Amino acid sequence: MFGSRIDKIIKNIKSANEKRREKAYSSLEEFSKSGLSEEDATKLLHASVGELPPRKSDWEDPSECLVSAAGRKPYPSLLPAVKEIYPQLRDEPRAVALTLISKIENEDATHTYVNLIKEFDWPDHLYPAMIISYQQAPRHEKILFPDLVLNSKGIKGSMMALDICLCYCQASLIDESALEQIQKPLLETYDLLRTKVQPYQTKEGMKWIWDDEYSESRYSAGLLLDLMTYFKSAEVVALLKEASEFRDPRLSTIAVTSLVGQDIDVSAAKLVKAAASAEMRLFLHSALKRLGQLELYPEEFNSQEAFAEADMVNWLCFPTELGRAPDEMELMKTVSLDTETPDGIIEYFIYRFRTDPPHWAADDGWMAGISGPFIKKDGPSPDAHGETFSTFDPWDSMSADEHLGDIQKIMDDWRKHHSKK
């Protein structure tokens, strides 16, 4: 009797023949795209434990591949199998298994999520995907908090739990009793990060902001300062006031907005310093808007040019792009185009930018970047409409208009998009 397709794939994945195994993984990838049945997904989960022959590439974990394929459709019926195999999984597949559980939107799954972290801690292999479902669709707050935070160990594990906590606080979902219990681990985690970032605040210049050894602590400390908005205590306020004096504009800006969120007066000078940072300008505007305090945003940075500059810098700061703000950036041209739709005129801002050694892009000199488009009638607005980019082409390789690209195509695409509204 012939077995099912998934049975054959699993059999070949366990084969001693490397070519047969790799062909089976390719078949699994294609097969799982269309969505496995609950039975097939359960079989994959059970097959993921035990000794599996290695993949051709060392970085590909066989067990992780099987759990990932099984979780493409997070059937609630998979939960018992995930709970059964989880203790036997290695670190990487555990991270994928937690991601699968997080996508099952029932209370049993959330209880399982918390209990597995309580028993086994967070995997060392920390995928952002493990928490994104709870961030995008906050739910079951009384199951998650305070237990998730109280049972997370170490800086990295605590940061994962507190990252989720921030989204729930912003949605006003965590009650005061839970917040009171969360404050102690929050402050303990911040204290560990504070000892890492504080010594840098007296260093000369500002390039240390982008040092690898500082950067990770910088982003984590910033998240905790943001979360402190929701913890009303003298100890928290003292830490926020201290951080508002830091030289790092990321940490000082977030501390300032958290003080505003706590209804504590902040000097105009600190708000101006925050808005003057192209990296933090959009964060400041967004945070003040969310807090209903947009009137505090400094008028001198309330221009389309200022928002476009910030948008370009934020895009370049993505880890997949420059990974940091450029050392120099200049606005070279603004291009206005009539969409001949109710949106009217849209504007693109064309920049050149460069970095200093030892950054990998320093040898490339001045490069081109485009921010926008911004709808002029809505301006000044921080809302770019999804086409900010850079291909890192040398600035001198073409004209500003050539860097922007085919204007007729831009107009055609905009009109097509508008016709679907």
pLDDT, tens only, 137-148: 999 999 999 999
On the question of pLDDT at 331 being above 80, the answer is yes
Over the stretch 112-154, which tens digit does the pLDDT of each residue have?
Answer: 999 999 999 999 888 889 999 999 999 999 999 999 999 999 8
On the question of pLDDT at 407 being above 70, the answer is no
Quote the CA–CA distance of 305 and 311 in Å, as a whole number. 10
Averaged confidence pLDDT in the chain: 93
Mean pLDDT, residues 300-311:
98
* Higher per-residue confidence, 84 vs 1: 84
Quote the CA–CA distance of 204 and 364 in Å, as a whole number. 26
- Alpha helical stretches, state H, 121-153: 129-136, 141-144, 147-150
Quote the CA–CA distance of 159 and 171 in Å, as a whole number. 19
- Helix (H), strand (E) at residue 227: helix 212-227
Residue 1 confidence (pLDDT):
37
Band of residue 26 on the pLDDT scale cut at 50, 70, 90? very high
Task: Give yes or no for a contact between 355 and 340, defined as CB atoms under 8 angstroms apart.
Answer: no
Query: Nearest to residue 130, comparing CAs of 151, 161, 107?
Result: 161
Residue 419 confidence (pLDDT):
60
Residue 44 confidence (pLDDT):
96
Mean pLDDT, residues 80-88:
97
Share of the chain above pLDDT 70, in %: 96
Share of the chain above pLDDT 90, in %: 83
* Higher per-residue confidence, 409 vs 241: 241
On the question of pLDDT at 12 being above 70, the answer is yes
Mean pLDDT, residues 11-23:
94
Band of residue 2 on the pLDDT scale cut at 50, 70, 90? very low
- Helix (H), strand (E) at residue 354: strand 345-354
Quote the CA–CA distance of 214 and 212 in Å, as a whole number. 5
Quote the CA–CA distance of 381 and 394 in Å, as a whole number. 29
For residue 303, give both structure tokens.
Answer: 């221009």
| Burial (Cβ within 10 Å: 0-12, 13-18, ≥19) of residue 177 | exposed
On the question of pLDDT at 421 being above 60, the answer is no
Q: How far is CA 14 from CA 19, 47, 59, in A?
A: 12, 9, 18
